[in-house]
């Protein structure tokens, strides 16, 4: 069980992708790309 789900908090299960040029996107369509809402963050330039 996800702890954030258990706490009823607003969060996203997608991965926030940070591109080398600073662009940030989430793998979940329509998601607000806020670091604080994500448990998974990846640097697209190096990890994908």
Name the residues that contact another protein, by CB under 8 A.
Answer: 1-4, 7-11, 13-15, 27, 29-30, 32-40
For residue 40, the minimal CB distance to another protein (Å) is 8
Q: Count how many Cα atoms sit within 13 Å of the Cα of residue 10 in the half-sphere of its side chain.
A: 6
Question: Min. distance of Cβ 10 from another protein in angstroms?
Answer: 4
Chain CA centroid to CA 15, Å = 4
Shortest distance in whole angstroms from residue 37 CB to another protein: 6
Q: How far apart are CA 43 and CA 19, in angstroms?
A: 6
């Amino acid at each position: 069980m996800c702890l954030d789900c258990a706490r009823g908090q607003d969060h996203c299960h997608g991965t926030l992708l940070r591109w080398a040029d600073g662009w940030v996107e989430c793998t979940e369509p329509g998601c607000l790309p806020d670091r604080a809402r994500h448990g998974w963050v990846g640097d697209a330039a190096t990890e994908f």
